[in-house]
Structure 1
Amino acid sequence: MPDLSPSGDSDAKTFALDTSLIPLGERALQSVLDHVVAVGDEAETPYLEVKSPLDMNSKATAAKIAKFLLGAANRRPGEAARHFHGYAVLVIGAQKNSAPGVPRGTEAHELEDRLRPYLGPQFPAFEFGRIGIDSDREVLFVIAQPPEDGQTIFPCHKSYQGDDRRDNLEDGAIYVRGASNTRPARSGEVLALVERVRRGGKPPIDLEVQLLGPICRVDRVEEVLESLRRSEEEEFTKQPTPAEDTVASTPLRLPSSIYGRPKPLSTKAREQALAAWQSKKAEHIAKGREHFLGVGLPGAGVRVVSHDRFVAKPHLILTFHNCEVLDYLDADDADFEKAVEPVLRPHNPFLSRYNYSAIRPLPRDYPVTWSTRGEDAEVVLTPESFRPNMPWSSDQDDYVIIARDPQASSVGVSWKLTEDGNDAVTSGELRVPTAPLIAAADLFESVFLSTTDEDLAGEASKP
């Protein structure tokens, strides 16, 4: 557990808070927490509020948080910008000389669901942070985004009556941040908010979009897979066929067939197995191609920068024209039999026939999805926000992008962005150079044959 108690003099000047920082990220939030622990309730200002440990599942706690967010959203942009670049922070689970925290497990989406009835459908998105205290407890941070000229006034949408009248909320009331608390707005403050609305809408979105990783080019993939299928068929047809009377006279399946190897097949059964395999050629090649390219090619991602503008709950669709997108697979998952379907697979009655390795579980509300639509690849990004001038990047182990034309030196990418609570659509285009052309035969050898050679060498070296 980190030492959060002040040593020696606890004077506020000793633990002065740098309000020129943006209160996002663990380092910035730690400095806020250190300040709160040093000075306690004295830390409270129009841009910072402190709550000792709360029951995060109670209606009273939801009302307290909603009241803070409503007050923070109804600030004047010029005054708010003097500290924390306009952000406001609610610290939950800290007090003077200690940070007991709250039990771990509070999820941002669950908290937002409880707050939404009070905040209304058009309320700006907020950030959510946490700092672990120990294995069971953490300090939570609710971070309101900067107010902007042109924003509407945000009234409360639901009443709440609690044991402490200071926490009460009234449907339709307008709350503002005072010197150290949130309270109903006075007439002059309401007029100031009306003036805020009149000063114009949000500035236009200026988005910079950049691809991370390559757009791959691979030549003669189907030709290589066809060749490997022919080799598989030749190997199968070369295998000796036991005499019919031998097969018929075998009363029980041999132990070897129980634990992996198929039982001997008659000539007719072998012909049927081969015919069934050949009838699924298109399906096998399609699946083999996905696996082969997924494990063999590097992944891609997207980097986004919103210049001088906070974008709340963005929905960004990128279209890679004349491309396809496949799941990225780790090189350790390379499986020759998934790339080249054998005529007969070994049978093991103790193993499920379901291919669990194909499952790629993603966290709830994962902000990246991808699919191939027609002749184009589509990637959709839905993060919580794009912060002003702070790059947001997706991981490069989600998908692989491949140009359909192996000779293309570049591909066109178009994008469309919408924002929560904003009907405007922002769009753009860029041209992205492709990676050097790769021969499918060379790629296949590097992925499968080199691994096989290493495995064989390792087996040979064993005593």
Structure 2
Amino acid sequence: MDTNVAPLGERILRSVLDHVVAIGDAAETSYLEAKSTVDITSKTGLVKVAKFLLACANRLPEDAARHLKGYAVLVIGAQQGEAGGVARGAEPHELADRLRPYLGATFPGFEFGRIGVEGDLEVLFVVGLPPEDGQPIFPCHKAYGVPGEDQLVNGAIYVRDHSNTRTANAGEIMALVERARGVPRPPIALDIGLLGSISRVGRVAEVLDRLYDFEEQRYLEPPSKEKAPPPGFALPGLFGDTVTSTAEDRAARIDAWRQARPAYVEAGRAHLFGVALDGVGVRVVSRDRFVARPEIVLTFHDCEIVDFAERDDADLSLLVEPVRGRETPHWGMVDPGASRITPRDYPVWDQRGMNAEVTLTPESLRPNVGWSTDQDDYVIVARDPQTTSVRVTWVLTEDSSDLTTRGEMAVPVGPLVDAAELVKMAFLNEQ
């Protein structure tokens, strides 16, 4: 369906109808709704039409103008695979008279169309007009309610949200107030800053390989020839085997451990970063603009992201997986990130290939008022320890709007720290 034309005239309306018949409910958007059977001569049918028209009149001009020249269409008498129609007899002037108590005397009106189908049936089209800057908010002027059916609330402000009609939230009402003033909403402009620093860590692979090599050597050496740990890496209680095993058992165990070693090292790396490095937060300010229920996705390019943990959570057996295994295996535990219950204003983070991604969903952003997250949720580490800054890109979308706002910034990184020093500090209590 071509959405760059006004839905007026039989040819265009027939293309809208064909679209609805082709894909049914999937055709419904902020500018198109379809009902298979609605009797607009009944009170319940009238409620559906009134709510749709009110919601269409309460759109923002810049949002509405992107499709169908700002018009919106309610198709009555069609569904996927069928244009069954409704009984003939509806007249636009009669419908307007019956709708007036609900829409109010100042409502801008609507267009009406019909396409005949089999017998005495026809498909009806109720077309909402394009909204304009300077128009007032259009509230419902009369209540109607029957349990189990669509209801209208006196004074309610209805809006279209993607494919359904609902009451407006605070941000949408404020935007409509701006529309009534005749001033287009300014574009979204964000100031985004980092709380804390992106970390840099040197010699991570080297230090972890050294620790894992030593664990393997300790396991393979007879107790009488047990080697001292490398200087600065005395991990008491981690190395050694306290259970007498046969040679075959020990060989099978070390073979399985070697095969799993890359995964153990990766987990140990994340645990080291989580307990030894400081967390990062984000502060967002919307300049001169209220933003309702935004979603902001930040991408930290060429970075790692791990769960932040307190220093008291440092566990040697999570840093270096013992060959003999743990008394309480951590691999049997549920990944806390997989079952994390997060309220709307809580950040969500994940590793996306070589990049770290953080998604922020505040309830709203108030003009020139900072909104920020805590610094005890996640840790971000630059993959290149020699870099001086990290490229961060972000994308913002706002509830009930198809517009996308993008930005980019270069964030300085923190001082370079050595992985061996992190191990001593977090696991050996050496400052």
Structure 1 residue 171 corresponds to structure 2 residue 152: yes
| Amino acid paired to 2:332 | Y
Q: Residue 420 of structure 1 aligns to which amino acid in structure 2? A: D
Quote the Cα distance in structure 1 between the aligned partners of 2:358 and 2:331. 32
| Equivalent residues of 1:303, 1:393 under 8 A apart | yes
Q: 1:432 aligns with which of 411, 421, 424?
A: 411
CA offset at residue 378 of structure 1?
A: 0.9
Structure 1 residue 375, shift from structure 2 partner: 1.6
Out of 270, 273, 278, the position equivalent to 1:293 is 273
Q: Which residue of 1 aligns with 2:388?
A: 409
**Segment drifting more, 361-370 vs 332-341:** 361-370
8 Å CA contact 2:201–2:419 kept in 1: the answer is yes
The share of aligned pairs that are identical, in percent, is 46
Per-residue displacement from partner, 1:433-453 (whole Å, max 9, x unpaired)? 1101111111111111127x9
2:338 equivalent to 1:355? no
- Secondary structure of the corresponding residue to residue 389 of structure 1: coil
Change (3 A) 1:401 1:352: closer
Higher mean alpha-carbon deviation, 199-208 vs 378-387, is at 199-208
How far apart, CA to CA, are the structure 2 residues paired with 1:151 and 1:268? 84
* Cα distance between partner residues in 1 of 2:216 and 2:296: 47
SS at match of 2:402: strand
2:201 corresponds to which letter in structure 1? V
| Preserved contact between residue 304 and residue 351 of structure 2 (Cα < 8 Å) | yes
Counterpart amino acid of 2:305? Answer: V
Separation in 1, partners of 2:421, 2:221:
27
The offset of 1:153, in angstroms, is 3.1
Q: Residues 152, 428 of structure 1: CA spacing in aligned structure 2 closer, same or farther, 3 A cutoff?
A: farther
The equivalent of 1:205 in structure 2 is: 188
Distance 1:285 1:159, change over 3 A: farther
Q: Does 1:306 align with 2:289?
A: no
From 113, 129, 137, the equivalent of 1:153 is 137
Q: Secondary structure of the equivalent of 1:422?
A: coil
Tell me the distance in 1 between the aligned counterparts of 2:177 and 2:307: 50
Q: Which amino acid counterpart does residue 333 of structure 2 have in structure 1?
A: N
Q: Does the 8 Å contact 1:158/1:170 carry over to 2?
A: no
Output the CA distance in 1 between the equivalents of 2:153 and 2:144: 12
In structure 2, relative to structure 1, the CA distance for the partners of 1:426 and 1:357 (3 Å cut) is closer
Give the structure 1 partner of residue 298 of structure 2. Answer: 318
1:236 aligns with 2:219: yes
What are structure 2's unaligned runs of at least 5 residues? 1-53, 59-132, 158-175, 225-240
Secondary structure of 2:367's counterpart equals: coil
Which residue type is aligned with residue 211 of structure 2? L
Partner in structure 2 of residue 367 of structure 1? 346
The CA distance in 2 between the partners of 1:386 and 1:272, in whole Å, is 58
Residues 229 and 340, structure 1, Cα contact 8 Å, conserved in 2? yes
1:216 to 187, 199, 205: 199
Structure 1 residue 357: Cα displacement:
8.6
Output the TM-score relative to the length of structure 2.
0.55
Distance 2:265 2:204 in 1: 10
Q: CA RMSD in A?
A: 3.8
SS of 2:279's equivalent? coil
1:38-437 to 2 correspondences below 5 Å: 153-156=137-140, 160-161=144-145, 171=152, 196-197=179-180, 199-240=182-223, 263-347=243-327, 354-355=332-333, 358=336, 361-437=340-416
TM-score normalised over the length of structure 1:
0.52
1:174 Cα deviation after fit = 5.3
- Check 1:443–1:352 CA distance in 2 against 1; reply closer, same or farther (3 A cut): closer
Query: 1 CA distance for matches of 2:250 and 2:400?
Result: 64
AA in 2 matched with 1:412: R
For structure 1, list consecutive stretches of 5 or more residues without a partner in the other structure: 1-69, 75-148, 163-168, 177-192, 242-260, 454-463
Q: Distance in 2 between matches of 1:438 and 1:214?
A: 13
Work out whether residues 390 and 410 of structure 2, in 8 Å CA contact, stay in contact via their aligned partners in 1: yes
